[in-house]
Structure 1
C-alpha cells in the first residue's frame, strides 16, 4: 500500500467510530501529517476525546491522556527527578510524565493554571522537555491535541494569545445533523451490546508510524507556485492591514495574525492537497483550511463583538476581498 492508501485506511477506520464529523477527522489527519499541534473546541458530548482516541487506537503509537484540573502541577505533565537508593549509593533518575507519548490528549486544557499550560510550551514548540537542567527529547512522532470547552468559564484559565499561536489549527466541532445522530445512537448501542455480551471483534493491524513519516516526505515535495505563496502572504497581510480592504474589517480586527499563520497555511495547504491526490496546491486547498488556521490568531475588537461578528465571519470577509491568484 502507498502512504496515501494507508492514511485513507486510517481515515476510514476513524470514520467508523466518529459519525457525522468528517471535517474534524480530516483536520486531525492534516495536523498529524503537517506535524503540528491542534486545539479542538466544542460543546460537551461532541466526541472531541473520542476522535483523538480513535486516531491513536488505529495508529501504531503510544497514547497518553492528561486530564487538566486546577490542582495539576507542571511536574504532573513533564515528569520529575526521583531519588532512588542502590547498592552503589543514592542517585536521581528521571521519571517521564505523560507528555512522553506519540499522541498526547490534553483534555480541557483551559482548566489548568498558567504554570501547567506553560509546561506544554517547550514540548509543543521545541519537541523537548527540560527538567532539573537536563533536556529530554520527545519521540519523532509527537503531537499534542488539546480540547477546550467554550461554555464553562468558572474555574477556567483562558489560554493567552502567545500559547494559542503555538497551535497549528483551531478546530471547532459542531452538532451533527439529525440523520447522523440516529447513526450515533445505533453505533453506541451496538458497542454496549458487544461489551455486555463479552464478544470482541477482531481488530485490524494498526497503521505503522512509517506511513506517517513517508507521507510527510511526499508532502514536502508538493509543488507550491510563486502565485500561491503570494496568495497566502496576502491573506495574512489582510489581517494586519484590514483598512486596505474595507472599513468594516478595519473596525472588526484589533490584532492580526503572526508569521506562524503563513507557515501554517503552507503546511496545511500542502497536506490538504496531498490527501486529495494532487501534487500541487491550488487556492481551494488554502481556502479549505483558512478558518482553522486564522480562527485563533485574529483578535477581534469590541466593535466586532458588538456587531455579533465571530472570527469565522471576519475570515469569510477576508477570503471574499483578497484577490485569487
Structure 2
C-alpha cells in the first residue's frame, strides 16, 4: 500500500507514473498553446516545490515557511557555479548540495522550536535570503537579476523542457512515495503524530528533523535549477518570501501528507487560475470560492476526494462482481 492509501505496489505505481508522464509529454504540446504550455512547465516546477514542502510539513508536521528561500538558493547556486565554468551536471549537483547544506544549517538551531515559533523563524530566514539576493549586487547582480544563463540550451523551448521537467518530477514523486512507504517514512509520521512516543521507542527526533530540512531544501534547490533551465534568467522577485504562502496553500488544498495531493494542489493553484482568466476581474473570486469549497467539504484535500472516489468505484465494482457470481451460482 502506498502512502496515498491506494493498493498500488511501488512497481505498479512506477509504471502508472511513468506512463502518465509519457502521455502528458505526447498530448500537451499538441493540445496547448505556447502560453499554456509554459504554464504547464511552471506547474511542474511548483509540484517539485510542494513535494519538498510535503516532506517537512505534510509527513513530518514541522511548519516550515522557507521553501521559497531554498528555491532561490538552488537557482542562484546553479547559475553562479555555471558562471564559474563548471559543467551543467556538476553545477546542478553542487546547487542541490548547497541547498541541502543550508537546510541543515537552518534545521539544527531550530530543533527546539515548533508550531508558530518555527514558522516565524523559517519565514524570517526566507526574508533574509530575499534581502541578500537583492542587496548583494556583487554576487547576484541585485534586483536586475542574471540573464543569458546557458543551462542546457532549452530556455524558451517549452515543448522540449516539458519532457525534461516531466522526467524530473516523475523521479521526485516516486522517490517521495518510496521514502514515505519505507522505515524512514514510518519514523517521520511517528514524529508528526506523537514526538514523545516516537522518542520513547528509540526514534532520534533531532536527527529526523534535520533530515527533513535537508530533504525539503534539496527538493527546493532542484526546483530552482529547473526554473533556471526553463527561463534562462533569474531575478530576486521570483523567490520573494510572500510566495511561500502560495506553496503552503497548494500543499493544504491538495492534501497534507499526500504525494498525490502535492500534484493536484499545484495544478489547481497554478494552472486553473490561468484557465479562468476569460472571466477577467472575477476570476480571482471564482478561484477563491473553489479553494474555500475544497477546504470546507474535503478536509483531506483533493487527494482525499480522488482516493475516496477511487475506493467507492472499487467497492461498487466488487459488489457487482459478487452479485454476478451469486446470479451464476443460482442459475447453475
TM-score under structure 1 length normalisation: 0.24
TM-score under structure 2 length normalisation: 0.24
Larger % of helix: which?
A: 2
Larger % of strand: which?
A: 1
